[in-house]
A and B are shown apart, each in its own frame.
Chain A
Amino acid sequence: MDRAFQRTQILTNHLLRSSPPSPLSSNACLSYSPPELSENNAFDVEEMRNLIDGHNVEERDWLFGLMKQSRLFNPRVRGGKVFVSPDYNQSAEQQREMTWKRIEYLLGRGAFERWLTEKGEEIEMRRFAGFEVFSIYDHSLFTKLGAHFFLWGGAIEFLGTKHHHEKWLRDSENYLIKGCFAMTELGHGSNVRGVETVTTYDSSTGDFVMNTPCESAQKYWIGGAANHATHTVVFSQLHINGTNQGVHAFIVQIRDADGNICPNIRIADCGHKIGLNGVDNGRIWFDNVRVPRENLLNSVADVSPDGRYLSSIENPDQRFAAFMAPLTVGRVYIACSAVYQSKVALAVAIRYALTRRAFSLKPKEPEVLLLDYPSHQRRLIPLAARTYAMSFAANYLKMLYVKRTPRSNKTIHVVSSSFKATFTWNNMHILQECREACGGQGLKTENRVGHLKGEYDVQSTFEGDNNILMQRVSKALFGAYMAAQKRNKAFKGLGLEHMNKPCPVIPSLLTSTTLRCSRFQMDALCLRERDLLNRFVADVSKCKAEGKSTQQAFLMCYQLAEDLGRAFSDRAIFQTFIEAEATLPAGSLKDVLGTLRSLYALICIEDVSYLRYGYLSVDNGANVRREITKICSELRPHALALVTSFGIPDPFLSPLAFNWIEANSWSSV
């Protein structure tokens, strides 16, 4: 059926269906019209879901089902449908207990089977899928599991050696041991090398002695420490015979099996937070705590029984870098979960915009659907394109991680830092826009979108402050540039190979055809990255020529560094989109992805940096904006299918995404 005709029919039905006006009201009553009945899927949403979820789709549905079918996950019926979401009106203490009960339930159902006792791609991908699913239910559940599995478990796996693996991993997988990760202190977060906790070795007894020498050295934000954890990995300076050997990691028991805090350990709560109240974040002080010698996680350095320091890595910088491995995997998990929160928010906001009307264009005409306003399309549809782009980039990042080799470590570090920062920032932006797009209903906790802002704000801080991570990305690009120049060799790695080719040229007049051409889009993104990298190197070199140290020079050039970091991320994300699109046969799926890819590229190119540095003329800037609005209206008919493909089951969205009139009816009070 012709679309326009269909729309008219829908509007007519809307009018005819309305009950006759009562003497008290001049307006007909509104009724909820499900978008499923008026919108058509032009492509196979299951196929799309398989593509963007990328892996373990059946496993995901099984885990969603485990949660939906259990009373522990707080099911409530609203508007005739079941929704699951924690009761955030409970006290923080109650929420923590519920998080723990949910973990026990999932454990009993085998949800974490082989998570720590098996290695390899298959199990790592399964774990990623699990974490993504749990994050969709609740960030506290994700975070508490994350602290135990990828921080505590990851520390033992990456920093420990065989006897640690044998002693701790199986018991951790079964939660006989509940682990946490004590890195951050009140006085030191991102600068881990500055932590003040001190550990010395007592060769007379053969164990370490750990101390919190001052208040700023208290361990802070330790997820799991306040109530449940029995063990922790502590990051501490290691002093051997008066020499500080730098930061090392130790396993320390903090509670006995009955949950009593161990002697010489003091633990306090971090208090109520703006989100994540289902996680028991705690503070820890150590008072001459005795730690057995074999509890030093000794993959890179060890202490002999007689107290000699032994390390396979001489360079303290490299030694320290090796200790950061668990944080890298943490960044991958965080980046991926951020994408799924954007999916939840967009699915709710777009479904709502397909059912909520506001203002008539002419008197007595039906009010217009929110998503039929070009301005509303412009607010939400580019965010959907961004979310698709992030999905492909997240899948790329996961594959990069599970196929890691010693040689790819540097790339993983740079890409995970860049994507973690970019995705979590994007997510906060998307959540805010979606909250506003839902109007007042977005403020209700049960509708999720607004509440997620508080829950996910922390992602821009944990596993590395976003700003600092992005500075590191720029520094790494600077390093790659210098290395290529010094050795007079071509750029290789980090996607910088385009630097070896002639500089792309942007046509003086950008037509619609050019703007939608992937070659142009890639050229435009590469051009910015290339120019900003050149400028950054030039400015840093100039500062150094003026007598500043490299570190000082980086600090002075922070504005360029930020722009460069963003340019790298945008280009790297775009690259993954192109690659995903290329895997598809011609057809409706590829067509819609091509349009989304163009939209994603154009919102990147619309960024102020293109005008600031003069890559686009003012006229071309206007052409880009015009094309964006055109694409938004082209994608409008696909809006429902695009968010259905996110694969978030209905019970994990919110009442606002469905029959919000019935959900708010008097009979449901």
Chain B
Amino acid sequence: MASSVSSQHDQVLVEVKSFARVLTLNRPKQLNALSLHMISRLLELFLAYEEDPNVKLVILKGKGRAFCTGGDVAAVVHDLRTGGWRAGANHFMKGYTLNYLMATYSKPQVSLLNGIVMGGGNGASMHGRFRVATENSLFAMPETAVGLFPDVGASYFLSRLPGFFGEYVGLTGARLDGAEMLACGLATHFVPSAKLPMLEAALCAIDSGDPEIISSIIGRYSEQPSLKEQSVYNRLDVIDRCFSQKTVEEILSALEREVVDRRDRWISATIQTLKRASPTSLKISLRSIRVGRFQGVGPCLVREYRMVCHVLRGEFSNDFLEGYRAILLDKDKNPKWEPSKLELVTDTKVDRYFSKVNNEDGEDLKLPVRSKFKLPSYVVAKL
């Protein structure tokens, strides 16, 4: 069947290939950061494909050197400033709805992560059934550095990583390569980028949406990469000892205890990263991952939406705007966090981020109804 490109100017390119649909995020200059338009378009496409018996498989990839670097923060800030917090929250509401749809999708989604995948890019891929990493993959959830917290359902997928690796990745924004993504389970397969065109062609040739068949096809092109000697994944024992601690303060002291006996550049760098991050972000992120560990993906997103509303309303802290200024706008990399210290972010302050937004126009995230589709068991297990 001939492939068709719907529109050259479209930010999401659509190719129809037999029973597969290949969606390409097409904003390469912005490293495929998700605009509100892209999110709406993806939502529309995913909803339509679910109803369409001729679609059995959705492939998602990015044009250029990134899969997707996340949400369009500049646009969020613009809308926040001109239209109030609700306008800013609209980006997240749409995005989280898409995340939930992908997490509970009745058909398999294969994401080809051949490049940078950060923040919202993870939200658009990690919830799907198959995540293919390559030697070009670069994963991170860097939100704590810009006054946010790992959202897009990260409190679901990070909290389910082995041991306390999820706390480590979520609090420090650590960057992982393809081999590490596979080792910890963020990726389901590792395929060298040179083989991606063949893999894509093979997937587009099948007439089945059976996850086992898809898995075996990807398996044919997969390799078992070896972890670099310096890989953080070889430091799981230290990560578990330190990041299992009850509070952010205790995590920091545990890390500091580790370097008392022996100098260790990685641990020192980790301490520095945590000290540079927004104290408020660190505390709400830790709580979010810990609570998310025992919640279904829906309740995780509902909670994250409450949290992000509080962040945008700036009732307790304006770290999000400050982080945007220092990291993305002025790029002085010198944010002035407020509260400035961990001990000033009390438990009651943290509690407030998890409360229902008390405002006449504040409302909880409404998740799309999923009961009319036959959901595969790997989806049922996430509810």
Residues on A facing B (Cβ under 8 Å)? 9-10, 13, 17, 31-34, 36-38, 44, 58-59, 61-62, 64-66, 68-70, 79-82, 108-110, 649-651, 658-659, 662
Contacts and interface: CB of A to CB of B under 8 A. Distances in A.
Given A649-B294, A658-B381, A62 B163 contact: no
A110 B380 contact: no
Given A80-B378, A110-B246, A61 B291 contact: yes
B370 A37 contact: yes
A382 B366 CA distance: 33
A66 B371 CA distance: 34
A34 B382 CA distance: 10
Which 6 A-B residue pairs are closest in the complex by CB-CB distance? A80-B381, A649-B294, A37-B371, A662-B377, A36-B383, A81-B381
A82 B383 CA distance: 13
Interface string B343-381: 000010000000010000000000000111011011011
A68 B293 contact: yes
Most buried by A among B246, B372, B377: B377
B346 to A, nearest CB: 13
A36 B287 CA distance: 24
B290 interface: yes
B377 A38 contact: no
Nearest to A644: B299
B374 A109 contact: no
Given A70-B163, A110-B246, 19 more contacts: A32-B380, A36-B298, A37-B371, A58-B290, A58-B347, A66-B244, A69-B162, A69-B164, A69-B240, A79-B381, A80-B377, A80-B380, A80-B381, A109-B244, A109-B245, A649-B294, A659-B377, A659-B380, A662-B377
A58 B250 CA distance: 15
Most buried by B among A37, A79, A650: A37
Nearest to A652: B294
B192 interface: no
Contacts of B28: none
A46 to B, nearest CB: 8
A68 B240 CA distance: 13
Contact of A110 (B160, B240, B250): B250
A61 B247 CA distance: 12
A195 B6 CA distance: 89
A64 B294 contact: yes
Contacts of A38: 371
A60 to B, nearest CB: 10
Contacts of A44: 356
Contacts of B291: 61
A13 B369 CA distance: 13
A15 to B, nearest CB: 12
B225 interface: no
B64 interface: no
B293 A65 contact: yes
A10 B371 CA distance: 8
Contacts of B294: 61, 64-65, 68, 649-651
A62 B290 contact: yes
Nearest to A111: B246
B296 interface: yes
A79 B383 CA distance: 12
Contacts of A66: 244
A38 B290 CA distance: 27
A62 B378 contact: no
A34 B163 contact: no
A81 B383 CA distance: 10
A460 B372 CA distance: 48
A55 B161 CA distance: 28
Interface in B265-320: 287, 290-291, 293-294, 296, 298
Most buried by B among A59, A65, A80: A65
10 contacts: A31-B374, A36-B298, A44-B356, A58-B287, A65-B293, A68-B293, A69-B240, A80-B382, A659-B380, A662-B381
